[in-house]
């Protein structure tokens, strides 16, 4: 297999040196050039025709977002963003993923050498995976008007009784690479009274809060970063904090979010399998499981557990996925009832939410 040809774009000479050396140490990657700013990068892209670009978020002469937007509009190619672990870095990186960047990795403000050494395998894997993606041209899309957000108190307070444990549909969603944009598409299509949604997206701790805030701004639902003990309510979506597992639990009177600071599962924290397993144990057939684009297989076995207890299960199809790893693994495992394009998933979930809840039936079949 040919090596993945990479152009490193960063205004820091030290980062260019360290990142180039780290990438070149992988036998499947070749760094074909470096650039100190987007204008130099523009010329080198034409000269070198790299397979993947690593792009710093904050750049001189032309900021990284403007360059990325121009690049994805005129010459779409796989881009992996290099972000700082700051709130500003998180906001810009999420916007970059919205424009079309495939993935990102973070760099600290100090001790760069050790950071890159410790993360070398993960970063190289992200770059090689990016080379296999199919970036789409970036176009500015006019956002749909979001209707005013009202709470259920505007009509009648919702009653909570112990007998409703298995009668309320709750949608559990898992995603990884490409998932921030897939989740946005899903949430933008949901009405303000949609069933509750619990979400695990593989994301660093510094990014989950800004990501939840961004989703809240574009959805008719109320979207937040999940808090421990937070009640699960219709019209709300709860995103797992980076660095903590999100579990759906029954506390004797209502469903709540539980956060767990346990070990990584499938090398991830939060893990989709943890969310899906807790959902299967808590509400079983009343759940709806959804696995979106992502690298690896986290969530595949958990989705199978949901299906075996009677819950409807859906995966994103390969054509609309940035990486068909997690949904592909679930599909091959027989964990999904349906495989759908991203644009059709929200509508299908709303239909499934109206169907009668059928108790476990597949485990014995």
* Among the listed residues 365, 317, 360, 323, the one whose alpha carbon sits nearest the alpha carbon of residue 342: 317
DSSP-derived secondary structure letter, 155: T
Around Cβ 127, how many Cβ atoms within 10 Å? 26
8 A C-beta contact, residue 64 and residue 81: yes
DSSP-derived secondary structure letter, 166: T
Question: Helical H runs in the chain?
Answer: 13-24, 38-48, 64-74, 87-99, 112-118, 120-130, 179-188, 205-218, 272-283, 300-308, 326-333, 342-353
Residue with structure tokens 């070398």? 120
| Rounded Cα distance, 237 and 276, in Å | 15
| Rounded Cα distance, 299 and 141, in Å | 31
DSSP-derived secondary structure letter, 189: T
Residue 65 CA: distances (Å) to CA of 97, 179, 259? 10, 19, 34
Task: Return the axis-axis angle of helices 87-99 and 179-188, rounded to nearest 10°.
Answer: 80
How wide is the angle at C-alpha 185 spanned by C-alphas 184 and 186, nearest 5°? 90
Tell the burial category of 134 from Cβ atoms under 10 Å away from its Cβ (0-12, 13-18, 19+). exposed
Question: Helical H runs in 271-341?
Answer: 272-283, 300-308, 326-333
Show which residues are catalytic: 176, 202, 298
| Rounded Cα distance, 327 and 316, in Å | 6
Residue 338 bridge partners (DSSP): 314
| Rounded Cα distance, 93 and 31, in Å | 23
8 A C-beta contact, residue 48 and residue 5: yes
């Amino acid at each position: 297999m040919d090596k993945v040809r990479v152009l490193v774009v960063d205004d820091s000479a030290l980062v260019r040196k360290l990142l180039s050396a780290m990438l070149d140490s992988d036998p499947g990657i070749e760094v074909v050039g470096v650039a100190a700013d987007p204008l130099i990068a523009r010329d080198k892209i034409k000269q070198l025709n790299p397979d993947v670009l690593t792009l710093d978020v904050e750049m001189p002469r032309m900021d990284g977002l403007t360059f990325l937007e121009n690049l994805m509009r005129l010459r779409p190619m796989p881009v992996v963003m290099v972000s700082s672990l700051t709130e500003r870095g998180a906001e810009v990186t999420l916007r970059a993923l919205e424009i079309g960047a495939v993935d990102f990795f973070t760099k600290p403000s100090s001790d760069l050498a050790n950071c890159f050494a410790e993360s070398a395998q993960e970063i190289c894997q992200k770059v090689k995976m990016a080379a296999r993606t199919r970036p789409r041209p970036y176009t500015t899309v006019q956002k749909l008007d979001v209707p005013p957000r009202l709470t259920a108190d505007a009509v009648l307070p919702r009653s909570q009784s112990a007998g409703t444990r298995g009668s309320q549909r709750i949608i559990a969603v898992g995603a990884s690479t490409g998932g921030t944009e897939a989740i946005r598409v899903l949430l933008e299509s949901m009405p303000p009274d949609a069933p509750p949604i619990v979400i695990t997206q593989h994301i660093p701790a510094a990014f989950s809060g800004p990501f939840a805030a961004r989703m809240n701004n574009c959805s008719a639902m109320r979207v937040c970063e999940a808090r421990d003990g937070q009640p699960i309510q219709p019209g709300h979506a709860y995103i797992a904090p980076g660095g903590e597992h999100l579990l759906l639990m029954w506390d004797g009177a209502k469903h709540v979010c539980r956060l767990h600071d346990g070990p990584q599962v499938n090398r991830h924290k939060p893990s989709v399998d943890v969310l899906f397993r807790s959902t299967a144990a808590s509400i079983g057939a009343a759940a709806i499981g959804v696995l979106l684009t992502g690298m690896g297989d986290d969530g595949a076995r958990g989705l199978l557990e949901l299906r075996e207890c009677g819950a409807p299960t859906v995966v994103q199809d390969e054509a609309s996925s940035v990486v068909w790893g997690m949904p592909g693994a679930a599909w091959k495992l027989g964990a999904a009832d349906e495989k759908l394009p991203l644009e059709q998933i929200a509508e299908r979930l709303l239909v499934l939410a109206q169907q009668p809840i059928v108790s476990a039936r597949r485990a014995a079949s």
